[in-house]
Structure 1
Amino acid sequence: MSQTMPPENLSSRLLTVLSLPLFERVHELSILFDRCSLRQVQEIFPHVVHSIFGIDGNPLGWGLRTTTLENNPVQFQTLHQFFGVCGPLMHVCHRLLVDQYKFELDINLLPAKFVSLLQNGQNPSFYAELINVETMMHQVSTLSLNAFDFYVIHFVLYALQPLHSINPIAMQIHNVRSKTVYLKLVAEYLNNFLPLLPDARIEPVHFSSGVKAPQPLPAQALQPQRQPRYIKIPSSYRNGGNVSGGGGIPSASVGVGNISPQSNSPSASSNRAYAWRSESVLHFFVDIWLRYDIESEHHLPSSDFVRGVRTLVKQVHFFANGAQHDHSSLCALRKVSLSMVKARIYAFIVGLIDRWPLDSSLMVVLELWLSYIQPWRYTIASLNNKTPSLSYRPPISSCFDGFIIDNLIMYTHIFMQLLPHFGRLDYTVYRNAFMLYRLATIFSQHDLVDKLQRFEAIHAGNSFGFDSPQRQVNIMNKSVSPGTPWNQAVNISSAKLFSYTMQTQMETFLLLISMARNSVLRDIAKLRNEIAERQRSEGFLKNFYKKIFGECTQEEVTLREFSRIPEVLRQCIDAFCRTFNVDQANLSMHETLPEEPSVPSAPAVQNFSFFDASDTLDTSKLNPHQMSLNASSLHAAVDPATLPIQTNEVRALVRMLHFVSEKINNKYGSQLQGFYVRDDYFGKVARQLLYAPMTEQWFDKSSGHVEICENLVPPRVCLRPLGSIPALTTIGCSMIFGQLVWGAPLLGIFILATVLLVYIMLQALFS
């Protein structure tokens, strides 16, 4: 038995441990948990959880949402091992279950919409035995949770912290595709506690916990008067007796659904002793995350939170699709899991689309929606698929017809809500074009389009699970703040996706896409001409030298990016034309009409720019395509010497060469500038050796709005090309050549330098 920590030293010891650097903190905390008695662990456990997730302190907590494998691999692995499903913290959570000890959670930490449901008595039966009512005010004040539920609910609430608006590091990380340790843990927890396979083991397997005794029922006024619409729990799932764990499954027949030691037990209580963890995880993630009130919150949720919700949606699909193969008591929970998500996902996604900025980050919202409306991608058969996920197009089985009918509004109305947003995107950016491609390929699947057309004609208005689309929108209107224009986003009077009105709208939309594609083609042709003209002026030798050393100008990088866009947009146009029966000949016939002046003042409208110095700016005269062209004329210009280190460069050498270059430029900057502007032959040589002056431009958003900042960079020395691998390879080959021919490696370097000097002098002579 481990030595017990003296009680008088416990508090000071905990404070000392929590103030240590992360690696030492995790190590010492694991030792502290082992040394403390069960009662002492109960005393320090809530303080540790609050420290982890930044409750009443630093909102960053332990940095779960700011640590990635790229920016700190050691810290990433340390946190993942400590918080994993078989890690020390999860072991402590299960250790504390032995004596049914409860921890109090203030409901003010919960989302406001969720709190109002609890206060109004509309909470599902899962929370009936968790709520504590304050006797004087007759209101719910706290939730009584066991250790596992206490940790999980804090873990879920942590995602709602607007870290991207508090911490610059979080802002940078949440705007890229890097996976934080928090997102990795989300996927690990959901995959463990909501397994796809019926025979999956739910870890930890071995822990001592009997069925929890039920808590006293709340006051009668807080009891729901009728079964909550959004839960739809079957009677076989509701009427089972006592609950386990933190308000666990109220059915004696609901078990863990696995071939593990606990599932083979003939005792019903043994099943309940393990199944409640899956129910807790499902309820906390769905009820808290999907009740995030996007309309009333000051901060837009971060992209990593939306990615976490997508992980939840995908795992619930996996979990629900496993019901047909699961004959254990966990099957009942599998059957109701998808209906819990369905009740809230519509309002959540519509709110996101309504407020999300029109840039490539919209992809995270699009992927969330596409994941929900494609449950056939998340089945047991999909696990054996070896093709890339985005290209995976499984056939849509008839067993998903019920899902499509019940969620028809998710396909039709959200598509129509997204369409105007896609009409305002800038398609000179490849990621925006690819985003449209993702939408087009999903809605061009022949079997999906056939089902949507057939079900919309048969079931529209009477089989959405909410009686009608109008009834669902009305219900969603009641769940948001007054005055929110939901019906502007969803117009029920013209809600048919496959109608003549929608076909006309799609033709107008595809005309804009075709115009954007033609604009990109013109930009590509112009850029190719500029590159060809520059290469002709530089001569054959310099171009050959650049090819050998792998040097690539910014124009060539932009051209590679642009060259992928026209084909992607063409495929989008083809796909949408097939789906909505639009004649492409109409697009070719009308695509030049918007540019033809119909009145004498029309050219002024066509040349309109946000940078017009006149006092008569009228943005209502701009169509979305013109807006995107104005936006695409803004580009940041950066000194090539300060670009990020490339993969074909030696990092340490490039940094050293940059340091040497800066020293030379700082000391001899005026002399270098004088040589550069000379009109004689020495000036021509200087212009061959030095980097040309330029004006750096970048966007400053620190003041709350975008400002263009400029900085004039004079002629300068840049030794960075010597740090590239091709340059080092050439130097090495010259040394080998000198050694083999003359027995002196330095002679080879001297000959190489002489050849380069002669080349530069010839270039200067004919420049």
Structure 2
Amino acid sequence: MLEDGIVPPFYSDKLKDEHNSRMPSALSMNPFEYYIFHFAYHLTNPWLQLQLLENVWINWETVYVQLAHLYLYHFLPRDNSPVLPIIGPYVKKSPPRKIVHSPETKRVQTPRLLRSMILSPSTAHPQGGPQQQCLPQVWRSETIVQVFLDFWLEYTEEEKITSQPLTSTLSSLPRRHSIHSGEHIRLVRAFIKTLHEFANSAIGDRSAMDELKRIILPSVQGKIYTFLRKAIHHWPLDSSFRLILEAWLSFIQPWRYVPELSYSPQGRPEDEDKGKIHDPQRWMSFVANNLLAYTSIFQQLLPRFMRTDLVAPKNALMLFRVTKVFSQPYLPQMLAEAETYMDDNITRSKISSNQWSAVARQQILELEGPSYQYLPMFSESTVSQIVWFLSIIKQAHLTATSIVEALEKRNTEKKFIRTIWEFFNGEEHSNDDIGLAERKRVPGFLATSQQQIIEIFQIKVEDIPQVAIVADQEYHDSILSDSFCQSQCEGACVDGSRPGVFVPIQEERQHCRYIEYMGDPELLPVRSNECEILVRWFYRVCEVINSKYNLQITTFYNREDFVGRLTKKIIQPPTTVRQLPKRVNGGFTGGSEKIIPPRLSLRIFASYNFMTAFFNLFYSLTDHRLWHSWIFIYCQLFMDFLYYHWGYLRALDHEIECQ
């Protein structure tokens, strides 16, 4: 910003110029300003913004987040308490500098929050009037707001970064991203909420702190709007969009952050009626000054919701949150009234109409420029889009309802058999990683959103085209189809060289992640569907047999006749075991591979699946006679199997000796 020649008044007395070029080379700051600069820069430091695989829904309780909240609450008090300790700002008088603006760069500027006549001690009050005490009271609060605003809400787009010529110093910096971290957006929302609470706590006592509360929102609202609009434009189409959406909803609802309103630990107002608009005239000035934040961003969100999967619970909830806010009492009327003031064809008799018209036009000129064509939110073109959007919501509602009914029906049918199956095999994983309880909320969200949109735009039911809207059958079938993990596991089981598993991942967008075990398959940890005692016992038995008859098993496995084919059905094939490099002192060990020869494996008999299938078969064939012990029969079958293998191996041994 300063390199572009844009010097806000807040920095005008802090810049140091080079003697030759007269360009700013350094900032002169006191210790508090120096610390706050580095604290705010930590959140946007490109070295700390390396995009890793981050789950934005994890609410990190870091020291930085806790400190940021403490600084906001202390230096922007909502209870009209003074900011302690009261100390001077160490102001160094410097001659006024000429502010040069770059004609190529368009940027929302934030002037000094308080007028210089209030901040600067006046020599006309030698007796120490109240204005001499203003600077020690508010200079830290102004610094916090200005620095956080310049660092946290300065939106830098990637294409503008890449188009600029890089110096040797800048070329070594990592690339900044247009998508901010979840921690960044959460702190921006906390900053916006604190500004609302701070501004709404003004009591009109004509003090410097009260003056700061009165003018703080008009000074920063333009930059907040620009940040939100650009962040919404670049944010991907996924559920993490709710972070920036909630920040926007917090900005356009200042009536939710009044001093008399208290919040529960869950973040909800304890008295819902106090968080609504009761006096439209009190908030009309804010709505008119931030008309673009309501109407322009709403129209920006409309095509986004049209492309979003509204059957997904998180997306349906986001739509419901937006329609719930805009359907609040008095808000649609206030927006429509503010827009009518901008229509020159409508004659008005109210004196205030000229005031709101000038305010809205000036805001559009400052934020979007003279070439911006404002499209009213309640215009015919927008309403036609809304009518088409209602049909999309209706189809999503039918699809969500059909999915819920199908899931309930599937859970009801064969409930007993499914319970037994899940007891031995674990819970079934499907393509749908969303629970039935969440699915049941979607039809209610969509139905309520549809009704609220009709009320906001006052659309008549007969104006909605009565087209044949049916549920999306393809989407319905994809949710209820066999699991992705199961189909991939079936494909992996065919390939014996990939003894891996697919582990469901709930916190990421993909459903499964393939994890491959590269060691000895017989040394795999005991699975949940296996009996630990039998696994260990079978392993010891097979280890003795394989070590004694290793040569005979390999010889008969490699035969091409009937005996060789029979051996391949019984004996496990050769397996390649890989040993990965391990970290040791001074480096890594080398990787290695080892081929395990054909071997006998009885581990399959230790699985609960085999025992359950055998018990069901035996129980159905024994005419339900309870005196037959399935454990005894299972052990007898296993002994017969061992006897068969023992005889088979003895025959192999005898044949080799004869040769």
Deviation for aligned residue 1:157: 1.1
Deviation for aligned residue 1:396: 4.1
Pick from 182, 195, 208: which aligns with 1:329? Answer: 208
Unpaired runs of at least 5, structure 1? 1-113, 241-248, 254-264, 478-486, 596-605, 608-625, 646-657, 673-713, 720-756
1:238 alignment partner in structure 2: 116
2:33/2:143 contact within 8 Å kept: yes
What is the rounded CA distance, in whole Å, between the counterparts of 2:227 and 2:187 in structure 1? 14
**Secondary structure at 1:360's aligned position in 2?**
coil
2:69 alignment partner in structure 1: 187
1:314 alignment partner in structure 2: 193
Alignment of 1:202 onto 2:83 = yes
1:412/1:496 contact within 8 Å kept: yes
1:294/1:348 contact within 8 Å kept: no
1:358/1:425 contact within 8 Å kept: yes
Cα distance change on mapping 1:216 and 1:562 into 2, 3 Å? same
Deviation for aligned residue 1:139: 0.8
**Secondary structure at 2:28's aligned position in 1?**
strand
2:297 alignment partner in structure 1: 414
Pick from 248, 254, 275: which aligns with 1:375? Answer: 254
1:115 alignment partner in structure 2: 2
1:211/1:269 contact within 8 Å kept: no
Unpaired runs of at least 5, structure 2? 162-175, 345-355, 490-500, 507-523, 543-602, 622-659
Kindly provide the amino acid, as one letter, of the partner of residue 250 in structure 1: S
1:569 alignment partner in structure 2: 446
What is the rounded CA distance, in whole Å, between the counterparts of 1:361 and 1:632 in structure 2? 25
Cα distance change on mapping 1:136 and 1:172 into 2, 3 Å? same
Deviation for aligned residue 1:552: 5.5
Cα distance change on mapping 1:294 and 1:336 into 2, 3 Å? farther
What is the rounded CA distance, in whole Å, between the counterparts of 1:635 and 1:373 in structure 2? 42
Deviation string, structure 1 residues 604-642 (Cα, Å, up to 9, x no partner): xx97xxxxxxxxxxxxxxxxxx8x998998976389996
Alignment of 1:288 onto 2:186 = no
2:12/2:97 contact within 8 Å kept: no
1:522 alignment partner in structure 2: 402
Kindly provide the amino acid, as one letter, of the partner of residue 192 in structure 1: H
Deviation string, structure 1 residues 486-517 (Cα, Å, up to 9, x no partner): x6xxx52xx11123322221111111111112
Pick from 371, 374, 378: which aligns with 1:498? Answer: 378
What is the rounded CA distance, in whole Å, between the counterparts of 2:192 and 2:480 in structure 1? 35
What is the rounded CA distance, in whole Å, between the counterparts of 1:219 and 1:386 in structure 2? 49
Kindly provide the amino acid, as one letter, of the partner of residue 332 in structure 2: V
Deviation for aligned residue 1:359: 0.8
Kindly provide the amino acid, as one letter, of the partner of residue 196 in structure 1: R
Superposition pairs for residues 128-147 of structure 1, below 5 Å? 128-147=12-31
2:330 alignment partner in structure 1: 447
Deviation for aligned residue 1:591: 4.6
1:159 alignment partner in structure 2: 43
What is the rounded CA distance, in whole Å, between the counterparts of 2:134 and 2:455 in structure 1? 52
Deviation for aligned residue 1:314: 1.0
What is the rounded CA distance, in whole Å, between the counterparts of 2:83 and 2:607 in structure 1? 59
Pick from 505, 508, 513: which aligns with 2:388? Answer: 508
Cα distance change on mapping 1:133 and 1:442 into 2, 3 Å? same
Cα distance change on mapping 1:442 and 1:584 into 2, 3 Å? same
1:345 alignment partner in structure 2: 224
2:338/2:357 contact within 8 Å kept: no
Kindly provide the amino acid, as one letter, of the partner of residue 561 in structure 1: E
Pick from 304, 309, 321: which aligns with 1:438? Answer: 321
Deviation string, structure 1 residues 665-708 (Cα, Å, up to 9, x no partner): 99779x99xxxxxxxxxxxxxxxxxxxxxxxxxxxxxxxxxxxx
Deviation for aligned residue 1:357: 0.2
Cα distance change on mapping 1:472 and 1:511 into 2, 3 Å? farther
Deviation for aligned residue 1:419: 0.7
What is the rounded CA distance, in whole Å, between the counterparts of 2:427 and 2:470 in structure 1? 38
1:404 alignment partner in structure 2: 287
What is the rounded CA distance, in whole Å, between the counterparts of 2:186 and 2:221 in structure 1? 18
TM-score, length-scaled by structure 1 = 0.55
1:63 alignment partner in structure 2: none
Alignment of 1:471 onto 2:354 = no
Cα distance change on mapping 1:558 and 1:717 into 2, 3 Å? farther
Deviation for aligned residue 1:422: 1.0
1:131/1:142 contact within 8 Å kept: yes
Cα distance change on mapping 1:299 and 1:311 into 2, 3 Å? same
Deviation for aligned residue 1:421: 0.6
**Secondary structure at 2:26's aligned position in 1?**
strand
Cα distance change on mapping 1:193 and 1:586 into 2, 3 Å? same
Cα distance change on mapping 1:472 and 1:633 into 2, 3 Å? farther
2:202/2:213 contact within 8 Å kept: yes
Cα distance change on mapping 1:524 and 1:761 into 2, 3 Å? same
Query: Kindly, what percent of the aligned residue pairs are identical?
Result: 24
Deviation string, structure 1 residues 423-447 (Cα, Å, up to 9, x no partner): 1112232111111110010011121
Deviation for aligned residue 1:353: 1.3
Larger Rg: 2
What is the rounded CA distance, in whole Å, between the counterparts of 1:466 and 1:141 in structure 2? 38
Cα distance change on mapping 1:460 and 1:362 into 2, 3 Å? farther
Kindly provide the amino acid, as one letter, of the partner of residue 287 in structure 2: I
Alignment of 1:216 onto 2:103 = no
What is the rounded CA distance, in whole Å, between the counterparts of 1:632 and 1:230 in structure 2? 53
What is the rounded CA distance, in whole Å, between the counterparts of 1:758 and 1:221 in structure 2? 83
**Secondary structure at 2:183's aligned position in 1?**
helix
**Secondary structure at 2:45's aligned position in 1?**
coil
Kindly provide the amino acid, as one letter, of the partner of residue 565 in structure 1: V
2:121/2:133 contact within 8 Å kept: no
Cα distance change on mapping 1:631 and 1:467 into 2, 3 Å? farther
**Secondary structure at 2:341's aligned position in 1?**
helix
What is the rounded CA distance, in whole Å, between the counterparts of 1:525 and 1:504 in structure 2? 32
What is the rounded CA distance, in whole Å, between the counterparts of 2:460 and 2:309 in structure 1? 24
Deviation for aligned residue 1:222: 5.3
Cα distance change on mapping 1:520 and 1:188 into 2, 3 Å? same
**Secondary structure at 2:27's aligned position in 1?**
strand
1:507/1:587 contact within 8 Å kept: yes
1:428/1:632 contact within 8 Å kept: no
Deviation string, structure 1 residues 387-418 (Cα, Å, up to 9, x no partner): 95276642242211111111112111110011
What is the rounded CA distance, in whole Å, between the counterparts of 2:51 and 2:381 in structure 1? 46
1:250 alignment partner in structure 2: 120
Cα distance change on mapping 1:758 and 1:173 into 2, 3 Å? closer
Across the aligned residues of Structure 1 and Structure 2, the Cα RMSD in angstroms comes to 4.6
Kindly provide the amino acid, as one letter, of the partner of residue 661 in structure 1: R
Cα distance change on mapping 1:317 and 1:378 into 2, 3 Å? same
1:637 alignment partner in structure 2: 485
Deviation for aligned residue 1:518: 1.1
Cα distance change on mapping 1:273 and 1:766 into 2, 3 Å? farther
1:589 alignment partner in structure 2: 466
Deviation for aligned residue 1:315: 0.9
Cα distance change on mapping 1:221 and 1:349 into 2, 3 Å? closer
Superposition pairs for residues 679-690 of structure 1, below 5 Å? none
